[in-house]
Structure 1
Amino acid sequence: MNDIFSIFNPDWWMDENNNALQIADAVLFLLLCIPVLYLFICALFSLGKYKNPYPPAKVTHRFLVLFTVLRNGKEVINSINHFLDSQIYPRNKYDVAVAATQLPEEDLVTLLQMPVNIVVPDKEQCTKVYAIQQVMERYSPAEYDMVVIFNSDNRIVPNALSLFNNAYYSGCDAIQAHRMTENLTTSIAVLNATSEEINNNIFRKAHTRMGFSSALIGSAMAFDFSMFHELAPNLKGSDLSKSMETALLKQNIFTEYMEEVVCYSKKEESADGYEAQRIGWLRSQYSSTIFALKKLPITLLRGQWDYSLKLFQWLMPSRFLLIALIVCCAIGITLLDWSLSFKWYALLTVIAITFLMALPDGEVNKRFKHSIWALPILVFASVFSHFTRFFQFKKTKKKEKKVKTEETEEKKNRKKD
């Protein structure tokens, strides 16, 4: 028993007759080196300007433009007005629909006066996936050619539908647009925007250049209407992008990324808002990790490389968490045995170069240089969100257990009566 507890003693790790430190160091380095190497390769492929490969279409397809909104009715009203006023696509070739969840009555009245189809889900509390499923039930598979999905705050470029139309005519059944942050008002918002742009370059632009599907982001997405109509009823969970990615990759459907189709959205501007957003993201991340662990060996054996890469991504730690883990390991190994620490600082240098290569051009890049001081705050918030999510999970489990106990006691009392 004493041998087991000796691992908590620093002297045990530093004992020259014990190679446990070297083994642990090698294992940790390998586990963290793999995602860093993957990100570095993707960053290399992301270099260079994007060129649209799709010629003008000879057919003008019909679109259903779907806005999903939760509570914030005024935001979606502004977004729809902007879309209707700015799009250069023929007006008779697209319709606008709204999945309206928990909207105030005054906002619903305003929407009713606009040229949009409103669908109110039959559940007051529902996920984005469920709201979209409710909308798709209102339409037949052949009613439109493509469906485009936006969040309530999205503002897209005027030629978006025309560019989607060209790509669809050339054979693209799933397309992810280039989502960018609109509100670069605080250092946290700028770092959030920078993180999203790095994601765009690594997981979307680089992936499609390597021959793999682009990652979905949950909005500014376009799909073949009949295909989406077929897939929508079987989507599960609260994360639309992960559910849709799984459904598409199971059928070997390629997702294109169109960098020039820019869609502006709003990001959290404070550390508290970012942490709350992270906790929401972690709800789906944990279940995705378990799913990936189960499915990855099977997909590799079947040779489903696109699907396998997606599952591998879900097993990777987030970029901020990856940085935090490498820094902690570098400091820890330096304190225990400095001679083993050089490779950790080399790995930290590689990941820094990786993110510098994937940095976007333009306004985000300019403002990033003045906002980098806030990076430790986001790294800490990213790490802390895991602990917050863990305690929330335990608290939820206790509540569920208490409710079940109360229900059981109530049933027993009824039987006695």
Structure 2
Amino acid sequence: MIAILIYFGIAVAYVFFFAIASKFYKKGSAKKGLDIENINFLFMVPAYKEDAVIIETAKNIISQPDFGSKDEVVIIADQLKPETITHLEELKVTVIEVFFEKSTKAKAINSAMKSLESWGRKYNAVVLLDADNHLVEGYITKTKESYVSGNQIIQTHRIAKNLDTTMAKLDAISEEINNSIFRLGHHNVGLSAALIGSGLVMNYDLFVSYLRKIDVVSGFDKQLELDVMKDKLLIEYLEEAYVLDEKVRNTQVFETQRTRWLAAQWNFAKQNFLSAWVELFKNGNVDFFNKVIQFVLPPRLILVGVLGLMLIFSLIFPAYLTEIISLNALLWAGLLIATPTYLLKMLNMKVLLELPKVFFSMLKAILKIGKAKQKFLHTPHGA
């Protein structure tokens, strides 16, 4: 029991420390008014069976007032319908069709980059987006200014596109807590921000060189994150550059999504746990060590659920009551500090009553992680 309390205690302290750190904002290194006219971005959007949302996403990007004449949108069409591809081509975006027996995001991106290379296309940086993502006005200018300021790898601020169901609200809160703890909090203490897999801006040549080495079923962004951190490259967090992301509307989609994420997290934790200690003590690589520790710690929802159950049992069978009450209080304090005010206002009894259902969906996701190791688990958008 003591070992369990120590493990959860480390996880709670981690959440609380970086939640507090997120409140002491350290301004990014981007400078306004820089010459960005000659900087060209490739907006790359992998779209696996995403006919419902991809057209609106393409329209959103090319309609941005600061979309440059040298910028380009590439849609990676993996099993899109012919009529969707025709519509995209009419929008004057580049469509690259890919065909795989077993599709993965890493395969699709690498295949598209090979096509671009064969066509002789050159870009300063790639902006990687999900098929449901929409840019908020000013995104392109802000990211180009950050890039010109010297930031080679930038994670931008992903926020909820929809808050139309209780599950979507919980998902939005979870995303913003992660933004506060794993991005802004880390940025403020001088560590790399965590990558999400979309809203990523990266030097094009760097992106190509790293992606060529990646071939995983799921979690390609985590592999990319580990690789760049092992090379001691800093990941900047640009909080003021917003990209809208569709939140899951029901627990079934949530369960599938979390199954994929947890499988990747557990896999990378096992693969890199020992090397993380070597990197820390031999090379002084705090970023890489910290990233692997993140993978080892339990997800926030599991923390909330398990500590809540432990509190109930300790009230019935008094044991370690003070310690468990303290951990619960510190955890909730950290989570509330990390949640933006506009989302805190949405917390009501209906949302809180959804938590047990979501917790048990998370437990079911843990039991299914074996499936995610064998094939890519797709979570549909626009449904």
TM-score (normalizing by structure 2)? 0.90
Q: RMSD of the TM alignment (CA)?
A: 2.1
CA deviations 1:328-383 (Å, max 9, x no partner) are 333444444x2522111111110010101001122x33223352221222112112
Q: Residue 13 of structure 1 aligns with which residue?
A: none
Distance 2:102 2:81 in 1: 14
Question: Which of residues 242, 250, 259 in structure 2 aligns to 1:270?
Answer: 250
Any conservation in 1 of the 2:260–2:372 contact (CA below 8 Å)? no
Question: Which of residues 114, 121, 127 in structure 1 aligns to 2:104?
Answer: 127
Q: CA deviation at 1:239?
A: 1.4
Q: How does 1:162-181 map to 2 (within 5 A)?
A: 162-181=141-160
Question: Which of residues 306, 311, 314 in structure 1 aligns to 2:287?
Answer: 306
Distance 2:279 2:65 in 1: 41
Distance 1:384 1:328 in 2: 17
Distance 2:52 2:251 in 1: 25
Q: Which runs of 5+ in 1 are unaligned?
A: 1-24, 397-417
Distance 1:295 1:139 in 2: 35
Letter in 1 for 2:291: K
Any conservation in 2 of the 1:292–1:314 contact (CA below 8 Å)? no
Q: Residue 305 of structure 2 aligns with which residue?
A: 324
Distance 1:49 1:368 in 2: 25
Any conservation in 2 of the 1:87–1:160 contact (CA below 8 Å)? no
Q: Residue 76 of structure 1 aligns with which residue?
A: 54
Letter in 1 for 2:198: S
Question: Which of residues 80, 83, 88 in structure 2 aligns to 1:103?
Answer: 80
Q: How does 1:202-221 map to 2 (within 5 A)?
A: 202-221=181-200
Distance 1:142 1:298 in 2: 40
CA deviations 1:295-317 (Å, max 9, x no partner) are 22212222110110001001011
Question: Which of residues 17, 22, 30 in structure 2 aligns to 1:54?
Answer: 30
CA deviations 1:62-95 (Å, max 9, x no partner) are 11111110112241111111111124243x1201
Any conservation in 1 of the 2:305–2:356 contact (CA below 8 Å)? no
Distance 2:149 2:106 in 1: 28
Q: Residue 41 of structure 2 aligns with which residue?
A: 63
Distance 1:345 1:144 in 2: 54
The answer as to 2:229 corresponding to 1:249 is yes
Question: Which of residues 130, 152, 168 in structure 2 aligns to 1:189?
Answer: 168
Any conservation in 1 of the 2:255–2:361 contact (CA below 8 Å)? yes
Equivalent residue pairs, number: 368
Letter in 2 for 1:270: N
Q: 1:111 to 1:45 in 2, by over 3 A?
A: same
The answer as to 2:217 corresponding to 1:240 is no
Any conservation in 2 of the 1:74–1:107 contact (CA below 8 Å)? no
SS in 1 for 2:158: strand
Q: CA deviation at 1:142?
A: 7.8
Q: 1:339 to 1:82 in 2, by over 3 A?
A: closer
The answer as to 2:322 corresponding to 1:342 is yes
SS in 1 for 2:137: coil
Distance 1:142 1:114 in 2: 19
Q: Which runs of 5+ in 2 are unaligned?
A: 375-383
SS in 1 for 2:100: coil
SS in 1 for 2:171: helix
SS in 2 for 1:234: coil
Q: Report the more deviating stretch, 54-63 or 264-273.
A: 54-63
TM-score (normalizing by structure 1)? 0.83
Question: Which of residues 172, 182, 202 in structure 2 aligns to 1:223?
Answer: 202
Distance 2:152 2:58 in 1: 24
SS in 2 for 1:86: coil
Distance 2:319 2:115 in 1: 66
Letter in 1 for 2:43: V
Q: 1:194 to 1:80 in 2, by over 3 A?
A: same
CA deviations 1:122-167 (Å, max 9, x no partner) are 4153101111111111234981111001111100112111111111
CA deviations 1:379-411 (Å, max 9, x no partner) are 121122212446x589x8xxxxxxxxxxxxxxx
Q: CA deviation at 1:197?
A: 0.4
Any conservation in 2 of the 1:194–1:368 contact (CA below 8 Å)? no
SS in 2 for 1:217: coil
Percentage of matched positions with identical amino acids? 26
Distance 2:212 2:347 in 1: 41
Question: Which of residues 265, 273, 277 in structure 2 aligns to 1:297?
Answer: 277
Letter in 2 for 1:326: L
Any conservation in 2 of the 1:292–1:315 contact (CA below 8 Å)? no
Q: Residue 16 of structure 2 aligns with which residue?
A: 40
Q: 1:241 to 1:343 in 2, by over 3 A?
A: same
Q: CA deviation at 1:50?
A: 6.8
- Which protein shows a greater Rg? 1
SS in 2 for 1:306: helix
Q: Report the more deviating stretch, 279-288 or 49-58.
A: 49-58
Any conservation in 1 of the 2:259–2:372 contact (CA below 8 Å)? no
Any conservation in 2 of the 1:148–1:220 contact (CA below 8 Å)? yes
Any conservation in 2 of the 1:102–1:124 contact (CA below 8 Å)? no
Q: CA deviation at 1:52?
A: 4.8
Letter in 2 for 1:158: E
The answer as to 2:95 corresponding to 1:115 is no
Letter in 2 for 1:33: G
Q: Residue 375 of structure 1 aligns with which residue?
A: 355
Q: Residue 377 of structure 2 aligns with which residue?
A: none
Q: Residue 379 of structure 2 aligns with which residue?
A: none
Letter in 2 for 1:342: T
Q: 1:332 to 1:372 in 2, by over 3 A?
A: closer
